[in-house]
Amino acid sequence: MKRDFLTFADLTDDELRSLLDRAKALKEARNARREVRTLAGRTLILLFEKASTRTRLSFEAAIAQLGGHAITLSPDHSQLGRGEPLADTAKVASRYCDAIMMRTFADERLAEFARNATVPVINGLTDGAHPVQVLADVFTIEERLGKLKGLTVAFIGDGSSNMARSFLEAAPRFGFSLRVAAPKGYQPPPELVHPQLCSVSDSPAKAALGADVLVTDVWTSMGQEAEKAARLAAFSGYCVDQALLERASPKAFVLHCLPAHRGEEITAEVLDGPRSAAWDEAENRLHVQKALLETLVLAHERALGIGAQRSPAAGVTA
């Protein structure tokens, strides 16, 4: 039976731990220029219904560096743009490839696609979740601080955004505390807030105090352009600037998934300064997605009794 990665709930705690460990090994191999070809001959389809830079580049590079190749498709260049049912596209695309990454709007659209696909489907971003980005974020946090459990992460901005929602899901899975600072009307649904590990307020200063990591994102996401003026007004006072960073732990650093609007959700001084991890965070998309592709594709092949039997670990040292 195929496995998807639409949210963190699709992987067990042990699988998430193994995935981060594998990503570390793959990054070390990449830095040492050791080839890893565990997905040689495999094809990944990238289906974009939202614009992308890092998601497209990192997935295309990931499958290529593992020995496979990608086919990138947009509605303007497919029959989806002319009204073909999503289920039909999922069924046909599955016959051509070994995994599919979809980046779309409504979560239900992704879920419908995954239900009809017969190969693993990965969430490259929806309105309600961005799990591949948050995987890279938690990998970056562990890489910098040596652990995840027991840390305090502060998310400053839109608490109802896909990034905030995925962080709320990740916190109890990896054992860190999450403080969300968001204005009224932009706070996450209470059912997403873990009672012991997560908290919500409308105070960036309170959330940042003593935190190990500050996280922010754009205030106006794709599809929300008509709300920009209202959002700029609502989020006034939520900019991650040097003064807010100084309230955090002396070793704290800042994450931003990019693209960034300097002077809105974050200042140029912070984003481009020495305590920004945004560029490592962007690179780490590549490594965690390699590990994710391996995990899903090779597990699917084992379940079907086909494909290479070599373990992923063997690919690092080959």
CA dist., res. 4 & res. 270, Å (int): 36
My answer on whether 141 and 194 are in the same domain is yes
pLDDT in tens, the chain (318 residues): 899 999 999 999 999 999 999 999 999 999 999 999 999 999 999 999 999 999 999 999 999 999 999 999 988 888 888 889 999 999 999 999 999 999 999 999 999 999 999 999 999 999 999 999 999 999 999 999 999 999 999 999 999 999 999 999 999 999 999 999 999 999 999 999 999 999 999 999 999 999 999 999 999 887 888 889 999 999 999 999 999 999 999 999 999 999 999 999 999 999 999 999 999 999 999 999 999 999 999 999 999 998 554 444 445 543
CA dist., res. 62 & res. 278, Å (int): 19
Q: Is residue 311 part of a domain?
A: no
Q: What's the pTM?
A: 0.95
Q: Is the dihedral of CA 88, 94, 48, 128 positive or negative?
A: positive
Catalytic, 285? Answer: yes
Catalytic, 130? Answer: yes
Q: Is residue 313 part of a domain?
A: no
Q: Is residue 262 part of a domain?
A: yes
My answer on whether 302 and 248 are in the same domain is no
Choose, from 42, 103, 165, 287, the residue flagged as catalytic. 103
At 221 the pLDDT is 84
My answer on whether 18 and 95 are in the same domain is yes
Choose, from 217, 239, 287, 289, the residue flagged as catalytic. 217
| Backbone phi and psi for residue 163, each to the nearest 5 degrees, phi listed first | -65, -45
My answer on whether 183 and 201 are in the same domain is yes
My answer on whether 102 and 179 are in the same domain is no
At 150 the pLDDT is 98
Q: Is residue 2 part of a domain?
A: no
Choose, from 173, 285, 287, 300, the residue flagged as catalytic. 285
Total structural domains within the chain: 2
My answer on whether 237 and 295 are in the same domain is no
At 77 the pLDDT is 82
Choose, from 30, 130, 231, 287, the residue flagged as catalytic. 130
Q: Read off the tokens for 86.
A: 């999503």
Place of tokens 């995840």: 148
Catalytic, 289? Answer: no
At 306 the pLDDT is 87
Q: Is residue 3 part of a domain?
A: no
Of 240, 250, 247, give the one whose Cα is nearest residue 271: 240
Q: Is residue 314 part of a domain?
A: no
What's the DSSP call for residue 276?
A: B
Amino acid at residue number 311: S
CA dist., res. 207 & res. 202, Å (int): 9
Do residues 35 and 153 make contact, with C-beta atoms less than 8 angstroms apart? no
Catalytic, 275? Answer: no
DSSP 123-157: EEE-SS--HHHHHHHHHHHHHHHS--TT-EEEEES
Catalytic, 133? Answer: yes
CA dist., res. 67 & res. 82, Å (int): 33
My answer on whether 135 and 271 are in the same domain is yes
Q: Is residue 119 part of a domain?
A: yes
CA dist., res. 97 & res. 99, Å (int): 6
My answer on whether 177 and 49 are in the same domain is no
Q: Could you tell me how many residues make up the chain?
A: 318
Do residues 162 and 136 make contact, with C-beta atoms less than 8 angstroms apart? no
**Angle CA 223–225–228, to nearest 5:** 135
Catalytic, 300? Answer: no
Q: Is residue 75 part of a domain?
A: yes
CA dist., res. 283 & res. 271, Å (int): 15
My answer on whether 84 and 152 are in the same domain is no
My answer on whether 159 and 267 are in the same domain is yes
Residue 223: other Cβ atoms inside 10 A:
11
**Angle CA 302–305–310, to nearest 5:** 50
| Backbone phi and psi for residue 186, each to the nearest 5 degrees, phi listed first | -130, 20
For residue 179, give the CATH number of its domain.
Answer: 3.40.50.1370
Find the domain containing 220 and state its range: 131-275
